[in-house]
A and B are shown apart, each in its own frame.
Chain A
């Protein structure tokens, strides 16, 4: 039966619609294609430009190429320790077990990693990893990963819709039925009907002003899924990476890879002291990110910062030749953007918003969300990293759970035959909503609203939090949400960046509300969530994840009990690390 909307909108039909073409989305799309399904892959930017391309330091996998003692059990333990045991143990286990295979597979697809003397894939140390574990290509590992997947993907038979933005998920009686969105170039609307949708839209970092994330990280996947009833968890856990650039202004927040510390970089304050010895004398600079970020925050706060409000990071003792070979991107980035030659002296660094540990609740084995037929993988999914992610564990997460989402979607289709039906009124409502900013006159400027949101989140829901700030943030967010409904944009719908931002704002504000609510609820400090008024761990919160879902139009915050780790895994932690 031809639906009425099909005569009015551009329509595409697929078994699997993958939203997002970073590492997770591409890997999922490749898998679903390999399962013989018709796959559509949608992304906001050009293909190959997703966040994954920016990843620098490496991808974690216990290959034991450099340190023979490494194995999945140690990787699993490190991940749980790093996540302060709030991780979904099953995800951490699958991840640790399957990462090495995903790396070898990538190599067979054409990736070219740096090599050891004996010709194996070289691995470097990183914070929180017991052994040298990060497979890498200089300091542009993400580029290698995404290009390999992109080249594999375009020959796998999928249809790629690039520079298209999904704004709404469409449902049929509690089951996913497709998605609605628009072409950035023309502004025209598109309807995708699909038996399953895999979200791989990444994080929410653009809600903050000092961030390593690009314009794409506006929480679209979080918001769209929440609106059709999916559950979010752990939203209070936002990772502030310890080392972003602090100067010049235009590049404030830009990432300086942890590989600088992995390769021997040392952190000092204005008094020349290696202050990490006061916080984590054993691991020093290679402590976990939450700990290093907070230590830097304190040095600056207590007046021992660098001229531009950071601390110093120095790798120059490793010598110019080594630095240019192992960290070529960082060498050029600092030279070109800040006139700093890192082979000769220190750079200034400070914390920057980097990664979203929270996101959609998924089943560990299949990556299905709480909405039937809706899957999620990569940064938009939650559970894998608990309260704090270890460096290098994201790229491996994308590969492991991207593949699993593809398999999960195929299994779901096998078990749920039949094609879900999209309702005309849902499509029309989505279209009407998107058009509104053009019809309102003298409304708010989306850029101005975005700036206000970012400044507010950075100040009140940032690296350290307290009740009064969080309460006030929630009030601010309510105001911003109302004003966002009144934004107006001018001009045509063709590649209109103000319009795009006006649409994204709604998602960012919604995700920010979830972060602020969860941060207020969790009365303890753990990983990426620090409460000045509730320092230290709390037993109750050690056993609970925060949950967020929509009920009767309201945001409902709650808790759920942490899944119990089976005996044989729990035993691993009794042995000496």
Chain B
């Protein structure tokens, strides 16, 4: 059966959505290509992309793994909004106009919907890893309430949607001076870990560029894991930087009490 005949037979029962999908690479011609896709109940944008691969464009480049909003692979921009394609329901989109699917804008294009996100992996490498206070204890005694916040941060699936939406990373291209919200979240998860011994405050100020964030909260809005990136991670980190550099007495007192 050709795709066309499939469309006509299903037309009477199924609504058809028009997709404009970004195609091309640095070397190939770029632009939006139009596809018609029958819409099923409960369908998500990634289903449509797979339909397009199977019926019209077998070589369409796209990343995905879990199809369950758990791995953070299928990040793209749907109608301009950074989204997980596997989590974006078709019935939440206005289907009287074309659905535009394009790659993350903040990162260099590889091909079609795939971008080169290696910059993010480089940022992670710069961060001092978890440094246990106590190497020898068999099992740690840690209260749930002391790790609730850290667990919130550790829910991050590294989809990099927050990186994509953050204007510091995206527009101003200050990628040398700012690690982006994802890695401020990671830094917060380490700094607030009750059993961590390392001090990352100088790094957060000097190299991670915490001062460049001007708390627009765009990152928090797109986070599929609903992590309170700005309120719970970035603002407290900024406060710690201020304490350290501008209120050393307070910092010293905190250090005496435990975790600075």
Residues of A at the B interface (CB closer than 8 Å) are: 45-51, 53-54, 63, 65, 104, 107-110, 112, 114-115, 118-121, 137-138, 140, 143-144, 147, 151-152, 154-155, 162, 185, 214-216, 247-251, 254-255, 329, 332-333, 336-339, 445-448, 451, 489-492, 494-499
Contacts and interface: CB of A to CB of B under 8 A. Distances in A.
Given A112-B193, A115-B143, A447-B58, A49 B155 contact: no
B193 A108 contact: no
Contacts of B54: 447-448, 451
Interface string B114-136: 10110001001100011010010
Nearest to B72: A49
Interface string B89-128: 1000000000000000000001110101100010011000
B70 A329 contact: yes
Interface string B56-74: 0011111111111111110
12 contacts: A53-B71, A104-B139, A119-B141, A143-B154, A152-B130, A250-B43, A333-B69, A337-B44, A490-B59, A495-B110, A496-B61, A497-B62
B47 interface: yes
Nearest to B87: A336
B150 interface: yes
Contacts of A447: 53-54, 58
B59 A497 contact: yes
B124 A250 contact: no
B142 interface: yes
B42 A140 contact: no
Contact of B65 (A118, A151, A216, A492): A216
A107 B132 CA distance: 9
A119 B145 CA distance: 10
B30 interface: no
Interface string B149-186: 01100111110000000000000000000000000000
B53 A53 contact: no
B155 A107 contact: no
B246 interface: no
A112 B150 contact: yes
Contacts of B59: 489-492, 496-499
B89 A46 contact: no
Given A45-B65, A46-B63, A249-B42, A54 B139 contact: no
B235 interface: no
Contacts of B142: 115, 119
Contacts of B143: 115, 119
Contact of B129 (A65, A110, A339): A110
A144 B156 CA distance: 10
Contact of A112 (B70, B117, B129, B151): B151
Contacts of B141: 118-120
If over half of B's interface residues share one DSSP class (helix, strand or loop), that class is named, otherwise mixed; here it is loop
Given A214-B71, A336-B89, 17 more contacts: A46-B73, A47-B121, A49-B65, A51-B65, A54-B66, A104-B138, A108-B132, A110-B129, A115-B143, A119-B144, A155-B129, A162-B121, A249-B41, A329-B70, A337-B44, A497-B62, A498-B53
A155 B111 CA distance: 30
Given A248-B43, A251-B67, A45 B135 contact: no
Contacts of A336: 69, 87, 89
Given A250-B47, A333-B69, A151 B129 contact: yes
Nearest to A338: B42
Contacts of A215: 64-65
B25 interface: yes
A121 B138 CA distance: 12
A445 B2 CA distance: 13
A337 B73 CA distance: 18
B147 to A, nearest CB: 5
A49 B130 contact: no
Given A151-B124, A155-B129, A143 B155 contact: yes
Nearest to A498: B58
A154 B128 CA distance: 11
Nearest to A144: B154
Given A110-B129, A214-B65, A247 B42 contact: yes
Contacts of A254: 67-68
A490 B58 contact: yes
Contacts of B117: 46
A66 B73 CA distance: 36
Nearest to A252: B42
B233 to A, nearest CB: 15
Contacts of B4: none
Contacts of A491: 58-59
A154 B144 contact: no
Contacts of B114: 185, 495
Contact of B42 (A104, A143, A337, A495): A337
Contacts of B61: 494-497
A248 B65 contact: no
Contacts of A154: 121, 124-125
Contact of B41 (A118, A140, A248): A248
A215 B43 CA distance: 18
Contacts of A337: 42, 44, 68, 89
Contacts of A54: 65-66, 68, 70-71
B186 to A, nearest CB: 8
Nearest to A137: B151
B44 A250 contact: yes
B40 interface: yes
A185 B111 CA distance: 8
A77 B249 CA distance: 58
Contacts of A138: 151
B135 to A, nearest CB: 7
Contacts of B53: 447, 497-498
B73 to A, nearest CB: 5
A63 B139 contact: yes
A114 B196 CA distance: 17
